[in-house]
C-alpha cells in the first residue's frame, strides 16, 4: 500500500506555520491598545471605530511594499529591518494627508516557511508599529511552495489612519510664492533598488559585504539603511494649517511625487545644491554614468519628505523641526506652471 500523501509532502508545514504564528501573536500584543478589540488569529481584526475627540473623522488608507530591497535582506541574511521599513513607508504615505496611523496589517508570502525568518520580519513590523503608535491588528502568512525561490519571501503592508476633515492636507491651498522645504532622507529608503542592485552588483561587481570607502560602510549597510517615519518630526505641524502640502518622496523621486499634490497652474522649482546630497547617490551615479534626470526620477536624492508652506510659516516650521533634532532645508518655491517640477 502506498504511503498517504500529506500537506507537508507538498511542501507546506502547518506545524512550522503554527509555531511562527504563536510567536507573532506575542509580538502583535505589544502594539495593542485600548481600542484593539480582537486577538491575532481571528478571521478579521476589530478596532474601536468611535472618534469622540473628532467632529468629522476621515479615514485614510494605503498599501505598499518594500520592493527589491528584500533582495538585499536575503543576501545579507538580515530580516528585522524590512518590516519596520514597511510600516514607516505606509505611515508616511498617509501622513502627507494629515492622518495619524490607527492600525496596520501585513501580508508575507514565501515558498518554504522558515519560522525564524518570518518571526524576524514581523519583529520589525511590530517595532515599527510601536514606534508609530499603531496597532498590528492582523495579517497573513502564506506558504506557497514552488512560487518563491528557497529563502525568499515578499511582504506587503496595509495601513489605516484618521484625520479631522478640517485638517486634511491636500495641496489645494498651494499658491505662487509658497516655499518648498525638505526633510532629509537617510538612504534609498524603499525605492530604486532594482537600479541600485544593477549598479553595485552587475556594473561594479561588488559583493554584499564589500566595504565602500566612499561611504565608510559595507554595501549591505548602505542599502539596508532604514526608511524613517516622519510622524514624530511633523507632529504639531499637521494640525496647525501651516503646511499646505506634503509629499513623501518615494518611487519617481522629486520629479514625480511633488506634482501629485500641486493644484492646477502651479509648478515647483527646486534649486540644485540647496541640500546636501547623500554620498551614496553620487557613488551610484558615477558607477553607471547615470544621467541627472534618471537619478532624480528614480531616487529620493537625499530628501525624504517635502513640505510646501507660505513664506510666513517657514520660521515656525524650521524651529519646530529643529526642536525635534532634525534639520529642514529650504529647497525651492512654487511658481506659475503646469504641475511640474523644474530643477534650477
Query: Is 240 inside a domain boundary?
Result: yes
Do 213 and 138 belong together in one domain? Answer: no
User: Do residues 194 and 127 both lie within one domain?
Assistant: no
**Prediction pTM value:** 0.92
- Cα 307 to chain centroid, rounded: 17
Q: What per-residue confidence (pLDDT) applies to 9? A: 52
Give the end of a domain, one of 167, 191, 214: 167
Looking at the structure, tell me whether residues 137 and 60 fall in a common domain: yes
pLDDT in tens, 82-120: 999 999 999 999 999 999 999 999 999 998 888 889 999
Question: How many whole angstroms separate alpha carbon 334 and alpha carbon 255?
Answer: 14
Domain co-membership, 208 together with 80: no
Are 287 and 154 contained in the same domain?
no
CA angle 63, 68, 71 (to 5 degrees): 130
Low-confidence ranges of the chain (pLDDT < 50): 1, 5
Give the count of domains, the chain. 2
- The torsion angle over the Cα atoms of residues 170, 172, 177 and 180, rounded to 10 degrees, is 10
Range of the domain at 248: 179-343
**Domain at 319, CATH number:** 3.90.650.10
The CATH number of whichever domain residue 133 belongs to comes to 3.30.1330.10
Q: What pLDDT does residue 12 have?
A: 57
| Last-in-domain residue among 139, 167, 195 | 167
Q: Are residues 185 and 63 in the same domain?
A: no
**Between the CA of residue 1 and those of 5, 9, 10, 43, what are the distances in Å?**
12, 17, 19, 39
Q: State residue 144's pLDDT score.
A: 87
Residue 2 lies in a domain: no
SS3 letters across the chain: CCCCCCCHHHCCCHHHHHHHHHHHHHHHHCCCCCCECCCCCCCCCCECCCCCCCCCEEEEEEEEECCCHHHHHHHHCCCCCHHHHHHHHHHHHHHCCCCEEEEEEEEEEECCCCHHHHHHHHHHHHHHHHHCCCEEEEEEEEECCCCCCCCCEEEEEEEEEEEEHHHCCCCCCCCCCCEEEEEECCCCCCCCHHHHHHHHHHHCCCCCCCEECCCCEEHHHHHCCCCCCCHHHHCCCCCCCCEEEEEECCCCHHHHHHHHHCCCCEEEEECCCCCCCCHHHHHHHHHHCCCHHHHHHHCCCCEEEEEEECHHHHHHHHHHHHHCCCCCEEEEEEEECCCCEEEC
- Mind listing the pLDDT tens digit for each residue in 14-47? 666 677 777 888 888 899 999 998 888 788 899 9
**Domain assignment of residue 172, yes or no:** no
- Is 136 in the same domain as 237? no
pLDDT score of 13: 58
Residue where a domain stops, chosen among 167, 201, 219: 167
In a domain, 121, yes or no: yes
Residues 320 and 214 in one domain: yes
pLDDT tens column, 50-68: 999 999 999 999 999 999 9
Output the nine-digit C-alpha cell for 91: 505611515
Q: Are residues 222 and 100 in the same domain?
A: no
Amino acid at each position: 500500500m502506498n504511503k498517504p500523501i500529506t500537506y507537508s509532502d507538498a511542501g507546506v508545514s502547518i506545524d512550522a506555520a503554527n509555531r511562527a504564528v504563536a510567536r507573532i501573536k506575542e509580538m502583535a500584543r505589544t502594539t495593542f491598545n485600548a481600542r484593539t478589540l480582537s486577538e491575532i488569529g481571528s478571521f478579521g481584526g476589530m478596532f474601536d471605530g468611535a472618534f469622540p475627540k473628532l467632529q468629522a473623522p476621515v479615514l485614510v488608507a494605503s498599501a505598499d511594499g518594500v520592493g527589491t530591497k528584500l533582495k538585499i535582506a536575503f543576501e545579507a541574511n538580515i530580516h528585522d529591518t524590512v518590516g519596520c521599513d514597511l510600516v514607516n513607508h505606509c505611515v508616511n504615505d498617509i501622513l502627507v494627508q494629515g492622518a495619524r496611523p490607527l492600525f496596520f496589517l501585513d501580508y508575507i508570502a514565501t515558498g518554504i516557511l522558515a519560522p525564524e525568518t518570518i518571526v524576524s520580519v514581523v519583529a520589525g513590523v511590530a517595532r515599527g508599529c510601536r514606534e508609530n503608535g499603531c496597532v498590528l491588528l492582523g495579517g497573513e502568512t502564506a506558504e506557497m511552495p514552488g512560487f518563491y525561490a528557497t529563502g525568499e519571501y515578499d511582504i506587503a503592508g496595509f495601513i489605516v489612519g484618521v484625520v479631522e476633515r478640517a485638517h486634511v492636507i491636500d495641496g489645494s491651498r498651494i499658491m505662487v510664492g509658497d516655499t518648498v522645504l525638505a526633510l532629509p532622507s537617510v538612504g534609498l529608503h524603499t525605492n530604486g533598488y532594482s537600479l541600485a542592485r544593477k549598479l553595485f552588483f552587475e556594473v561594479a561587481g561588488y559583493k554584499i559585504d564589500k566595504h565602500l570607502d566612499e561611504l565608510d560602510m559595507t554595501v549591505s549597510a548602505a542599502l539596508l539603511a532604514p526608511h524613517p517615519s516622519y510622524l514624530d518630526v511633523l507632529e504639531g505641524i499637521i494640525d496647525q494649517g501651516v503646511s499646505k502640502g506634503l509629499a513623501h518622496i518615494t518611487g519617481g523621486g522629486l520629479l514625480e511625487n511633488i506634482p501629485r499634490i500641486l493644484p492646477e497652474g502651479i509648478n515647483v522649482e527646486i534649486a540644485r545644491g540647496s541640500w546636501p546630497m547623500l554620498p551614496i547617490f553620487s557613488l551610484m551615479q558615477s558607477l553607471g554614468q547615470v544621467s541627472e534626470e534618471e537619478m532624480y526620477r528614480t531616487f529620493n536624492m537625499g530628501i525624504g519628505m517635502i513640505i510646501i508652506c507660505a513664506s510666513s510659516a517657514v520660521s515656525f516650521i524650521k524651529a519646530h523641526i529643529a526642536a525635534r533634532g532634525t534639520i529642514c532645508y529650504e529647497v525651492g518655491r512654487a511658481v506659475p506652471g503646469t504641475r511640474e517640477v523644474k530643477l534650477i
